[in-house]
Amino acid sequence: MQKDFILITLADDDEDDRMFFTEAFDELKINTIVNTVNDGVALMNFLQAPETILPNIIFLDLNMPLKSGIECLKEIKSNTRFNDIVIAIYSTSSSEDDIENTFVLGANIYIKKPNNFGKLKEVLSEVVTLNWQYITSGLNKDNFLLRL
């Protein structure tokens, strides 16, 4: 189990947010490999590249230039190759409509970006732990819905 790394990809156009994200995982004592892309197009290119090792969890910002998080979500969900990837929406919006819509489109997790670094660490840790349970304890990923 020590060999197992959880592969995490974040798609967010905001540099500071990417920084908070990677720093938070650095400080968390979980075996994760985090890589980040700057927008939706880059994310889809990364996922579709043949040499890519598919991540376990993708964190998706909704509001991105070129290709929005929703578009990415739809594309990922329509490709069976990405079936095993857990999608976490990572957005500033706390609109109920947005949240429900992304869940309906197949997102597993909805995270409203916290305004406190400690809180961010807490949230990310919870996501990874719960995800771990889904991987190791034979839970039905289709029922995996989490809002933080």
Partner 1 sequence: MFKSKLFDSIGFIRTTFLIAFFILIFLASITYRHIKELDKISYSIMNTYEVSLELNQLISYIKDAETGHRGYVITNDSIYLEPFIDARENINKSFQSLSSRIDLDTVKQKQLSRIYDLVDKRFYYFKNNFSSKTEFNNDFRNGRIVMDALRKEVNKMLRNENKLLSSKDRLYRYNNSNTPLIIFSTFLISILTLGYGYMRVIKNYKDLMNQNIRLKIFDESSKQAEILGKYGSWVYSIENKTFDYSDNKFRLMGCEPQSFLPNSDNLLDNIHPDDREIIINAFKDIEIAETFPLLRYRIIKKDTLEIRHFKTAAKFFTDRLGNKNMIGTTQDITEDFNKTQLIKLRNKELEQNNKELTEFNHVASHDLQEPLRKIQTFISRIEDKEKENLAETTKAYFEKIQEASNRMRILIDDLLQYSRTNRSEKKFELTDLNTIANNAISELSESIKEKNAQITFKKLHEVNGIPFQLEQLFINIISNSLKYSKPEIPAVIAITSTKTKAYEKPKLKDNSKREYIKITFKDNGLGFEQKYAKKIFLLFNRLYGKNEFPGTGVGLAICKKIVENHKGYIFAKGKPNEGAIFEIYLPV
Partner 2 sequence: MINSFITFTKNPKKDTVLKLFLKTDTQFLIKKILEEKLDVFKVKYNLINNNEILFLETIDTETYNRITSVLNEYGFEIIENQKNIIVQKIKECIIEMIFNDEAPAVKSSVYLADKLNHSYGYLSNIFSEVTYTSIENFIIIQKIEYVKKLIIHHDLTLTEIAFKLNYSSVAHLSSQFKNTTGITPSAFQRILKKRVQINNQNIN
The residues binding partner 1 (CB under 8 A) are 14, 16-17, 20, 92-97, 113-120
Sheet holding 86-91, edge to edge: 32-37, 6-11, 57-60, 86-91, 109-112, 146-147
Q: How far is the CB of 143 from partner 2 (least distance, A)?
A: 4
**Which residues are within 8 A (CB) of 86 and not within 5 positions of it... i.e. 6 or more apart?**
56, 57, 58, 108, 109, 131, 134, 141, 144
Least distance to partner 2, CB of residue 86, Å: 14
Contact string 21-50 vs partner 2 (x = CB under 8 A): ---------x-------------------x
Mask: binding to partner 2, 52-91, rule CB under 8 A, as x and -?
Answer: xxx-----------------------------x-------
Which of partner 2, partner 1, none is residue 46 near (CB under 5 to 8 Å by kind)?
none
Measured from the CB atom, the residue of 43 and 128 that comes closer to partner 2 is 128
> 127 near 88, Cβ under 8 Å?
yes
d(Cα 141, Cα 135) in Å, to the nearest integer?
8
Q: What is the largest CA-CA distance in the chain?
A: 40
What's the closest the beta carbon of residue 93 comes to partner 1, in angstroms? 7
- Type and span of the H or E element at 123: helix 117-136
The interface with partner 2 within residues 109-138 (CB under 8 A) comprises 110, 128-130, 132-133, 135-138
